[in-house]
Amino acid sequence: MTEASESAHRADKFIAIDGPAGSGKSSVSKAIARRLGYGYLDTGAAYRALAWQVLERGADTADADAVRSAASDFPLIQRLDPDDRHVLVGDANVTDAIRDPRVSAAVSGVARVPEVRVQVNEMFRRMVAEADYPAVVVEGRDITTVVAPDAPVRILLTAAPEVRAARRAGELGGSDPVAVAAALHKRDASDSSVVDFLNAAPGVDVVDSTELDFSQTIDAVLAVIERRRDADKERHHGR
């Protein structure tokens, strides 16, 4: 297989879904993967795992050199089964630890180091290419634009800021919606300085779930997948 055809093959296995915090992209992506029998990759978990490793070494993710050092020896194992989301760094099971508030507060520092993003993105492409699934639903911040810009299905899942904040507050067990909204705004502002995940790039379908419930959002995303994949098949048959 030539390099060009290998790249096309890898892109063809992506269902790329981007979106801001609280947009529901994780829960929707997992549901889509289960429904279609696909793998599921939460790219944010990998960045969180790297942030955890930096902190575990007693360093600060604001220190780019410390981030680079941790990335140079990053034995990540991430399952692609939507019902088995175990994340390991070496022998350490960090599945729960990477959701700790101290990791959440530190992860943006990891994502700001350009060469680390290049390394991690290539790891994502390799994971999808080697996955024992017909396709993988990959969700994150720059999947549609950087990781898999040639994927046949690229979706930006979004919702109004106040809706995203209310949903996230509910997920967190009734946390103060005002505080949650402030945290979401801060995270969006920080992360959007690295990559634009609030606006759809050309060719990316937008699914706005502001007025949709969970089931309706899943149906809307499935409709995009079906339409895009049908169009991709027609394009290939016409060659």
181, pLDDT greater than 80: no
23 is in an annotated binding site: yes
Is 39 annotated as ligand-binding?
A: no
Query: For 102-129, what is the mean pLDDT?
Result: 92
110 and 69, same structural domain? yes
21 labeled binding residue: yes
State the average pLDDT over residues 11-38. Answer: 92
Calculate the CA dihedral of residues 48, 54, 56, 57 and round it to 10 degrees: 170
19 marked ligand binding residue: yes
Determine the Cα–Cα distance for residues 16 and 117; give it in Å rounded to an integer: 17
**Greater confidence, 162 or 237?**
162
24 appears as a binding residue in the annotation: yes
CA dihedral 96, 39, 138, 98 (to 10 degrees): 10
User: Residue 149, annotated ligand binder?
Assistant: no
Domain match, 147 and 234 both: yes
Based on the fold, state whether residues 47 and 33 are members of the same structural domain. Answer: no
Does 123 lie in the same domain as 155?
no
25 is in an annotated binding site: yes
Give the Cα separation of 60 and 110 in Å (integer). 9
Q: What is the CATH number of the domain that holds 74?
A: 3.40.50.300
Residue 101 is labelled as binding a ligand: no
Which residues in 22-140 belong to E strands, given as ranges? 39-42, 76-78, 87-89, 92-93, 136-140
User: Does 26 count as an annotated binding residue?
Assistant: yes
Are residue 171 and residue 231 in the same domain, yes or no?
yes
Q: Is the pLDDT of residue 48 over 80?
A: yes
Query: Number of structural domains, the chain?
Result: 2
Are 232 and 121 found together in one domain?
no
- Residues 164, 227: one domain? yes
Q: How far is CA 223 from the centre of its chain?
A: 20
Strand 87-89's sheet: what is its strand order?
Answer: 76-78, 87-89, 92-93
| Of the residues 86, 109, 132, the one at which a domain ends | 132
Same domain, 145 and 201: yes
Q: Which of 132, 167, 191 is the last residue of a domain?
A: 132
Domain coverage including residue 215? 1-38+136-239
Please say which residue of 91, 114, 132 terminates a domain: 132
Q: Are residues 112 and 143 in the same domain?
A: no
Same domain, yes or no, for 29 and 52? no
Q: What is the pLDDT of residue 2?
A: 39
Q: What does the mean pLDDT of the chain come to?
A: 86
Query: Is the domain of 7 the same as that of 89?
Result: no
Query: Do 232 and 151 sit in the same domain of this protein?
Result: yes
- Reported as a pLDDT band with limits 50, 70 and 90, residue 237 is low
Q: Which residues contact 69 (CB under 8 A, 6 or more apart)?
A: 57, 59
Which pLDDT score, from 0 to 100, does residue 167 have? Answer: 78
